[in-house]
Amino acid sequence: MSDLLIKGARIVDAGREMAGDVLIAGGIIEEVSEEIPPPKGIPLLPAGGKFLLPAFVDLHAHFRDPGFPQKEDLLSGSRAAAHGGFTVVSLMPNTDPPCDSPEVARYILDKARRIGLVEVHLVGAITRGLRGEELVDMEALAPYVWAFSDDGHGVEDHRLMWEAAKRARELGKTIYPHPEFRGLPSRELGEELMVARDLWICRRTGARFHMAHISSPGAAELVALAKEKRLPVTCEATPHHLCLSREEADHPVNPPISTREAVDALVKGLVEGIIDAVATDHAPHTDADVAAGVPGISGIETAFPLLYTRLVKTGTIGLRTLSRLLSLGPARIMGLRKRGLVREGFVGDLVLVTEEELEVTGDFFFSKGKNTPLLGWRLRGRVWATIREGEVIYLDGKVKGRDFDDHRQVIRGG
Ligand SMILES: [Zn+2]
C-alpha cells in the first residue's frame, strides 16, 4: 500500500489513451490527469516515452508448488510474473498433491502471501487427485478458489461435469474446463465436442463457464453462438496459440500449436471479440523434461512482448484491445473489482512498457523454466516496470526482494 507519482507516461487502458501523470496514494489510484504537481515526500517515477497500462492478470499459470520445485516454485513463479508485468496470477491445481483440498489451498496461499510479490488466486480441482472419478468436496474448497478445473485433463464423464456445474452454480463459482477429449482421430474435434457439451451443461445448469486455452476456430465459433444466446460463458486463448504457427514454431504443448490457417481464424475470433482474455498457460519445465518431450511453454515473461510484436506492431489489434485482453477481461472473469483500468479509485497495479527490442535468451527468464520455442527470437515490447499497489516490484531487469529490497534505492525522492 504505497504512494507513487508516475510522470509523463502514455497512458493506455481498455477504454482510452492519454498523455499524463498518475498518482497512487495508499495503493489506490488517486488521480489521473495531464499534469500532477509532485506532492512532497512521494516517490516519483519518470516515465517519459513509455506506455503505462494496467498491470496484467493471468488466469492460467502453473507454479508447480507443491510437488515440482525443480520446475518452478512460488518464489520463482512470482518473480517471473512480476518480470512479465503481471501482478495477479491464478494458479491451476495440477500440483502434487493437487489442489483438491483446503489443506493444499491454504499451503499455497500462505506461502504466496509470505512471498508477497504478486497476488495469487487459486483454481481448485474438480475431481479428487484430478483422476476424473469422483468430485472433490467443492463446498470445503470453495472459500479458497474462484473456479474449478481439472486442467491438464478433460472431464470426460458427463455425469461428473453435470454434478460439478450444479454445485458450482450453488456456490457461485466458475467451472473452468480444459476442453479435451482424447482418443479421437482429430484433436480439434475433441476440443469442439467438449466445448459443445460444456456449453450445453452451462445452458442447462446456469453455471458460469470459462473455457481454457481455446485453440480450435470451431470451438471459438461455438462460444460465439453461446454468447449470442447470452449464456454465462467466457473463453481465453494463449499467446502461443494466437501468435505462433506449427510451420514456424515446432514445440510440444497441449493443445498443440496450430496450422497458420487455424491461427489466422483464431485471431479473427479475437478481433471480433469472441475471446475474452489472453491467458499464458505458463507451464515451466526443466531441461531434462524438455529433452524428454514434456509439453508446455514457460510463457508468463514472453507473453506481452510476443503479443505486442505479433498482434499490435502488425496492426492486427490496438494496444487498447491488448490491454483489455490482458487486464480488464481476465479481472472481470475472476470477479476482481476495481482492477484492469487506469482510473481513479482503481487498484494501483500498473505496468510500464517500452517499444524496445529484446532477445529471448536463457538469461532473460526469472522462471526456472526456459522451455520455449522463442529462444533466440527478437521481440519488441519490453516490460520496464511493474507496480503493485503503488509499490515498484520490478524495474528494468531487477525484481524486488532479489535485486533490491527498497524501491527508494532506484526511484527518485520518497
Ligand atoms: Zn489445460
Q: Distance (Å, rounded) from C-alpha 86 to C-alpha 82?
A: 5
Residue 396 appears among annotated catalytic residues: no
What are the domain boundaries of the chain? Answer: 4-53+347-409, 54-334
pTM of the model: 0.97
- DSSP secondary-structure letter at 257? P
Q: Distance (Å, rounded) from C-alpha 247 to C-alpha 55?
A: 32
Q: Distance (Å, rounded) from C-alpha 391 to C-alpha 348?
A: 8
DSSP string, 390-410: TEEEEETTEEBTTTBS-GGGT
Render each residue's pLDDT in the chain as its tens digit; 414 residues.
799 999 999 999 999 999 999 999 999 999 999 999 999 999 999 999 999 999 999 999 999 999 999 999 999 999 999 999 999 999 999 999 999 999 999 999 999 999 999 999 999 999 999 999 999 999 999 999 999 999 999 999 999 999 999 999 999 999 999 999 999 999 999 999 999 999 999 999 999 999 999 999 999 999 999 999 999 999 999 999 999 999 999 899 999 999 999 999 999 999 999 999 999 999 999 999 999 999 999 999 999 999 999 999 999 999 999 999 999 999 999 999 999 999 999 999 999 999 999 999 999 999 999 999 999 999 999 999 999 999 999 999 999 988 887 555 456 654
Find the 150 Cα to ligand 1 centroid distance in Å: 8
Q: Is 97 helix (H, G, I), strand (E, B) or coil?
A: coil
| Cell 531487469, residue located | 397
CATH of domain 54-334: 3.20.20.140
User: What confidence score (pLDDT) does residue 250 get?
Assistant: 86
Find the 57 Cα to ligand 1 centroid distance in Å: 17
User: What confidence score (pLDDT) does residue 414 get?
Assistant: 44
User: What confidence score (pLDDT) does residue 412 get?
Assistant: 61
CB count in 10 Å sphere of residue 211: 28
| Cell 507454479, residue located | 63
Find the 140 Cα to ligand 1 centroid distance in Å: 24
Q: Distance (Å, rounded) from C-alpha 203 to C-alpha 206?
A: 5
Find the 149 Cα to ligand 1 centroid distance in Å: 9
DSSP string, 313-340: TTTSS-HHHHHIIIIIHHHHHHT-SS-S
Find the 254 Cα to ligand 1 centroid distance in Å: 7
Residues in Cβ contact with 271 at an 8 Å cutoff, skipping those fewer than 6 apart: 316, 317
- Report which of 187, 251, 247 is spatially closest to residue 219, judged by C-alpha positions: 187
Find the 298 Cα to ligand 1 centroid distance in Å: 14
Residues in Cβ contact with 76 at an 8 Å cutoff, skipping those fewer than 6 apart: 63, 366, 367, 368
Cell numbers placing 330: 481476465
- Report which of 70, 95, 219 is spatially closest to residue 152, judged by C-alpha positions: 95
Find the 151 Cα to ligand 1 centroid distance in Å: 4
Task: Please identify which of the residues 3, 198, 281, 349 carries the catalytic annotation.
Answer: 281
User: What confidence score (pLDDT) does residue 410 get?
Assistant: 54
Find the 219 Cα to ligand 1 centroid distance in Å: 15
Find the 93 Cα to ligand 1 centroid distance in Å: 10
Buried b (16+ CB within 10 A) or exposed e, 142-163: bebbbbbbbbbbbbbeeebbbb
Find the 111 Cα to ligand 1 centroid distance in Å: 24
Find the 153 Cα to ligand 1 centroid distance in Å: 7
Question: Three-state SS string across 18-63, please?
Answer: EEEEEEEECCEEEEEECCCCCCCCCCEEECCCCEEEECEEEEEECC
| Topology, domain 4-53+347-409 | Urease, subunit C; domain 1 (2.30.40)
Question: Three-state SS string across 111-137, please?
Answer: HHHHHCCCEEEEEECCEHHHCCCCECC
Q: How far is CA 259 from CA 160, 163, 299, 394, 398, in A?
A: 33, 36, 20, 36, 37
Find the 278 Cα to ligand 1 centroid distance in Å: 14
Find the 58 Cα to ligand 1 centroid distance in Å: 14
Residues 405 and 85: beta-carbon distance below 8 Å? no
Residue 385 pairs in a beta bridge with 352, 395
- Report which of 339, 359, 318, 384 is spatially closest to residue 85, judged by C-alpha positions: 384
Q: Distance (Å, rounded) from C-alpha 338 to C-alpha 346?
A: 5
